[in-house]
Amino acid sequence: MKLYNTMTRQKEEFVPIREGKAGIYVCGPTVYDLIHIGNARPMIVFDTLRCYLEYRGYEVNYVSNFTDVDDKIIKRANEEGVDASVISERYIAEARKDMHDMNVREATVHPKATEEIPDMIQMVQTLIDKGYAYEVNGTVYFRTRRFQDYGKLSHKNLDDLRSGNRELKVSGQEEKEDNLDFVLWKPKKEGEPFWESPWGEGRPGWHLECSCMSKKYIGDVIDIHAGGEDLIFPHHENEIAQSEAANGTEFARYWMHNAFLKIDNEKMSKSLGNFFTVREIGEKYPLQVIRFFMLSAHYRSPLNFSDDLVEAAKNGLERILTAVERAEEALKQAEDSQPDDGQIRKVDELVEKYEAAMDDDLNTADAIAVIFELVRLSNTTIGEHVSKSYCEKILDTLELLCGILGIETHREEALLDEEIERLIEERQQARKDKDFARADAIRNELQDKGIVLEDTREGVKWKKI
């Protein structure tokens, strides 16, 4: 599989550090509010990368953090008069719900910055010991000019950066040796969360957490480091400086960055106020439509968000689901006859074409085009007297190719209240008959559809979650 590496600015064959294994680190959201659909783009894209690598036989260690200590979280906590952890825990739970609804799988590990402070302190100490960092008045800075390779990812020249930055004296940071030095540890301010450290009470700088968590959960060298393209500079550049200076080895082999989700050709962002939360969009569309919409463009192309484009994605998805339903209907009357070899071959060729698209730097746009070819093939070849094995092959392949993209091929049907009541009655009867397996199966079926049962003294109550 070829991946475009931001570091070398070309597509390169993916060769893992350890055969059959892939360690992926994706910078996750800062949890001070509901995530917006721009934040959802890297989640969906790199979750798809994970699924495809697994399909290709890799064992993937997928690590994605939650930044749970940050100025914005503290600001929000102060506004609400609660502890910062109340805000971060609330929005971690909300982000997880949105991710679940977009079929983004749980990461192997979702580390939180606040739970990794000792490792961060350790890394800062190592950097000081090696001469890559220094402390002034309780703040520890990274000595950027000591790190020769600074700028290698963003292809920025250190001298250009320095002259461009000359005007930017950030107040309170006059103590820095150099304008490009960045914060590893900052002293506490009144009303802020803090931790003990050799440099006094304080908290870590943002860049540090990813260097520490990737080291802890993947290793000194990681296969793929990913995130949105706004993170290339300074965040990823700083992560490289910290990790390579501390560990004395290359940090990440492949750097992948998704382009922006835009709105009216501007980056969707909280600060510009031109954003929609995943939650808001979820009220208008099933979130798998959003997933399908995101993947209908290549991840390195900017994608404009508009109602028309989401409608088009919705219709496209509908065509796939309808084809599946039709094939399932046909299967009921299908015959035990030999399938046509030519037709079977055609399906296999489409799978190869799909793989070729995904192998070409995760080209999900072309992969979706192949799924539509399969839909057309299905609609034109499945009818009366179709062979059962051909029908099954089409269905299995549609499910497989969609599944890799995180797209379910079956419509989620909302249960009507009467159906729920009927199932509950059936469960009660099953319990009376001591058929507990059936009773549990009904409870699970309801749970999958978001209905939770509660056995109370007054009988069974249910609610939708």
Is the CB of 88 or the CB of 387 nearer to Zn ion? 88
Compute how many other C-beta atoms are within 10 angstroms of the C-beta atom of residue 418: 8
Compute how many other C-beta atoms are within 10 angstroms of the C-beta atom of residue 260: 19
Phi/psi of residue 329, each to 5°? -60, -45
How far apart (Å, rounded) are the C-alpha atoms in residues 391 and 408?
A: 18
Per CB under 6 A, 42 contacts ligand AMP: yes
Per CB under 6 A, 227 contacts ligand AMP: yes
Is the CB of 45 or the CB of 401 nearer to Zn ion? 45
94 Cβ neighbours under 8 A, 6+ residues apart: 34, 35, 279
Compute how many other C-beta atoms are within 10 angstroms of the C-beta atom of residue 410: 10
Among 230, 328, 392, 399, interactor with ligand AMP by CB under 6 A: 230
| Among Zn ion, ligand AMP, none, residue 41 binds (CB under 5-8 Å by kind) | ligand AMP
In whole angstroms, how close is the CB of 61 to ligand AMP at the nearest point? 19
Which residue carries 């192949």 as its tokens? 370
In whole angstroms, how close is the CB of 165 to Zn ion at the nearest point? 21
Is the CB of 68 or the CB of 116 nearer to ligand AMP? 68
Is the CB of 151 or the CB of 228 nearer to ligand AMP? 228
Per CB under 6 A, 260 contacts ligand AMP: yes
- Strands 139-142 and 133-136 turn out to be antiparallel
The residue type at 114: T
| Among Zn ion, ligand AMP, none, residue 395 binds (CB under 5-8 Å by kind) | none
Burial class (CB in 10 A: 0-12, 13-18, 19+), 300: middle
Among 231, 245, 295, 310, interactor with ligand AMP by CB under 6 A: 231
In whole angstroms, how close is the CB of 105 to Zn ion at the nearest point? 20
Among 6, 39, 144, 243, interactor with ligand AMP by CB under 6 A: 39
Q: Judge contact between 94 and 34, C-beta under 8 A.
A: yes
| Among ligand AMP, Zn ion, none, residue 38 binds (CB under 5-8 Å by kind) | ligand AMP
Q: 155: helix, coil or strand?
A: coil
In whole angstroms, how close is the CB of 392 to Zn ion at the nearest point? 44
Q: How far is CA 54 from CA 58, 295, 313, 359, 396, in A?
A: 5, 18, 26, 13, 18
Interface positions with Zn ion (CB under 5 A): 27, 210
Compute how many other C-beta atoms are within 10 angstroms of the C-beta atom of residue 452: 12
Compute how many other C-beta atoms are within 10 angstroms of the C-beta atom of residue 17: 14
Per CB under 6 A, 267 contacts ligand AMP: yes
In whole angstroms, how close is the CB of 151 to Zn ion at the nearest point? 17
Per CB under 6 A, 258 contacts ligand AMP: yes
* Span near ligand AMP by CB under 6 A; candidates 264-272, 335-343, 352-360, 455-463: 264-272
Residues forming the site for ligand AMP (CB under 6 A): 27, 29-30, 38-39, 41-42, 227-228, 230-231, 258, 260-261, 267-269
